């Protein structure tokens, strides 16, 4: 049941690979939404300038915004573009699920193997590799996550257009000249439009990480003859929150899902295997090399500790 140097190496590789996958989603989604805004901005800008030109007493009113046919048509175009982007976002995220699930499941099996006796002793014979795990169970993870992704991305366009309409009416407040008002309204709409990318990125990261955790749990269950539970392993850096620092090293039951950290969390699930003696081996088992959380935190400088805990909690600590 000892965490080895190979265990820590595999955990670091999994973190890097997961970050590369989610960063790729982020780049693609930001690029897509920025290009989408370029497609619709001209029509909206023209509609707003039309409002400015027709402003009475130098002021655009809420009534003008609500009654503008040209503005309504521009918002309809925006709605269609946002719907297209949301659909493409769902396809993009779901398209990488097989890779993400296989990566997590394969790594989890390797993490188990890294804690068993050496291959020549026979420890490898106890391991169920990822390619021998129940295919139907793997497929169920992918299908369930795909459904959740599409259900989450589908309302993005309607929600964004609804907020844009509200922001347009709010944008008339301020008493500045009509052209300034139109520019402010355009900026608000752009912020809301491109905010769709932020929401899509959140969905991508949440659902991808959840699917990977489900795959890791499936691998652990397939190896229940040697795996008794799992250990919460935090990355233990300045970017790691106090709660995750506190969870590092905690041991959980085999059936318990997790680790449930943050949307952008970097915590990992490391399998806990039976001792070599319990598995029937008489050779000595090496000690665990899992870094101790409190000792690692205590070794940080005061600035890093304060950044993690915050001022009041740092003083209390």
The secondary structure element, H or E, covering residue 229 is: strand 227-233
Whole-number Å distance between alpha carbons of 267 and 234: 4
- Is the pLDDT at 47 greater than 70? The verdict is yes
| pLDDT the model gives residue 174 | 61
Residue 57 Ramachandran class (φ > 0 left, ψ -120 to 50 alpha, else beta) = left
| pLDDT the model gives residue 101 | 98
Strand order in the sheet with 251-253: 251-253, 227-233, 268-273
- Is the pLDDT at 253 greater than 90? The verdict is yes
| pLDDT the model gives residue 13 | 97
Residue 1: pLDDT band (50, 70, 90) is low
Window from 13-17, 94-98, 176-180, 209-213 with minimum mean pLDDT:
176-180
Residue 283 buriedness (CB in 10 A; 0-12 / 13-18 / 19+): exposed
Residue 15 buriedness (CB in 10 A; 0-12 / 13-18 / 19+): middle
Question: What pairs with residue 297 in β-bridges?
Answer: none
Spatial neighbors of 43 by CB under 8 A, at least 6 apart, are 73, 74, 77
Token pair recorded at residue 171? 């944008």
Summarised one tens digit per residue, pLDDT across range 257-295 is 999 877 667 899 999 999 999 999 999 999 999 999 999
- Is the pLDDT at 152 greater than 90? The verdict is yes
- Is the pLDDT at 113 greater than 90? The verdict is yes
Token pair recorded at residue 136? 């139907």
- What is the per-residue burial (b if ≥16 Cβ within 10 Å, else e) of 147-186? ebbbebbeebbeebbebbbebbbebbeeeeebeebbbbbb
Where do the H-state alpha helices sit in 54-68?
A: 62-67
| pLDDT the model gives residue 267 | 92
Judged by DSSP in three states, 230 sits in strand
Window from 76-80, 142-146, 225-229, 259-263 with minimum mean pLDDT:
259-263
Residue 119: pLDDT band (50, 70, 90) is confident
Sign of the Cα torsion 176, 177, 179, 185 reads positive
- Arithmetic mean of pLDDT, 149-163: 91
Summarised one tens digit per residue, pLDDT across range 164-196 is 988 888 877 765 688 888 898 899 899 999 999
Residue 194 backbone phi and psi in degrees, to 5: -75, -15
Spatial neighbors of 71 by CB under 8 A, at least 6 apart, are 44, 47, 48, 50, 51, 65, 168
């Amino acid at each position: 049941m000892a965490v080895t140097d190979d265990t820590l190496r595999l955990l670091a590789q999994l973190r890097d690979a997961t970050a590369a996958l989610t960063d790729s989603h982020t780049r693609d989604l930001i690029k897509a939404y920025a290009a989408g805004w370029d497609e619709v901005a001209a029509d909206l800008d023209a509609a707003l300038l039309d409002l400015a030109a027709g402003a009475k007493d130098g002021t655009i009113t809420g009534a003008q915004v609500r009654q503008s046919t040209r503005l309504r048509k521009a918002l309809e175009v925006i709605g269609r573009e946002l719907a297209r982007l949301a659909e493409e976002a769902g396809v993009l995220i779901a398209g990488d699920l097989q890779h993400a699930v296989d990566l997590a499941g394969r790594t989890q099996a390797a993490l188990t193997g890294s804690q068993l006796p050496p291959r020549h002793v026979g420890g490898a014979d106890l391991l169920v590799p990822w390619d021998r795990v129940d295919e139907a169970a793997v497929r169920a993870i992918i299908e369930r996550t795909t459904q959740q992704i599409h259900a989450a991305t589908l309302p993005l366009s309607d929600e964004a257009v609804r907020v844009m309409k509200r922001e347009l009416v709010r944008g008339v407040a301020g008493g500045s000249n009509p052209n300034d008002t139109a520019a402010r309204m355009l900026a608000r709409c752009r912020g809301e439009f491109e905010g769709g990318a932020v929401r899509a990125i959140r969905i991508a990261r949440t659902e991808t990480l959840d699917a990977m955790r489900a795959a890791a749990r499936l691998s652990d269950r397939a190896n229940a003859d040697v795996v008794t539970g799992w250990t919460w392993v935090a990355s233990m850096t300045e970017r790691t929150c106090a709660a995750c620092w506190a969870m590092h090293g905690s041991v959980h039951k085999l059936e318990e899902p997790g680790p449930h950290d943050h949307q952008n969390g970097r915590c990992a699930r490391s399998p806990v295997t039976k001792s070599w003696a319990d598995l029937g081996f008489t050779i000595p088992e090496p000690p665990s090399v899992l870094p101790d959380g409190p000792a690692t935190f205590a070794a940080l400088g005061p600035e890093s500790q304060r950044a993690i805990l915050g001022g009041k909690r740092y003083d209390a600590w």
